[in-house]
Structure 1
Amino acid sequence: MELRLFEQDKSGVNRFGVDNLMWSKDSFVVKELNAFEEYLRDKYKPGNSFLNNVSQKIIFSGGKRLRPALVIISGMMGEYDRNKIFPLAAAIETLHTATLVHDDIIDNAKTRRGQITTSEKHGINIAIYTGDYLLANSILLLAESGLAVKELDRLAKAVKMICTGEVSQFLNRYKLTSVSGYLKRIMKKTGILFSASCAIGSFASNCDYKQVRTMARIGMNIGIAFQIRDDLLDIEIYGKGAEKIGKPITNDIKNGIITLPFIYSAKRSETVRRSIEELFQITDDLSNVKQREEVFTDKNVNNNKDINSYIRQIINDVIESGGVSDAKALKNRYIQKARNLLETLPQITNEAKQALEDIINWL
Structure 2
Amino acid sequence: MQKVEVQLGERSYSISIDDNFAGLASVLANRSQVVIISNSTVAPLYLDAVTNLFSSTSVTHFLLPDGEEYKTLSSFEQVLGFLLQQRISRDALLVALGGGVIGDLTGFVAACYQRGVDFLQIPTTLLSQVDSSVGGKTAVNHPLGKNMIGAFKQPTQVLINTSVLSTLPPREFSAGMAEVIKYALISDAAFFRWLARYRDAIVAQEPKVLAQLIGHCCSMKADIVSRDETEQGDRALLNLGHTFGHAIEAWLGYGNWLHGEAVAVGMVMAAQLAQSRGWLEVEQVEEICDLLQSFNLPITPPNSMRIADFLPYMKTDKKVKNGKMRFVLPTAFGQTSVIDDISEAELTKVFA
Highest relative contact order (Cα 8 Å, sep 6+), 1 or 2? 1
Which protein is richer in strand relative to its size? 2
**Structure number with higher helix proportion:** 1
Greater gyration radius:
1
Q: TM-score w.r.t. structure 2 length?
A: 0.29
Taking structure 1 as the reference length, the TM-score comes to 0.29
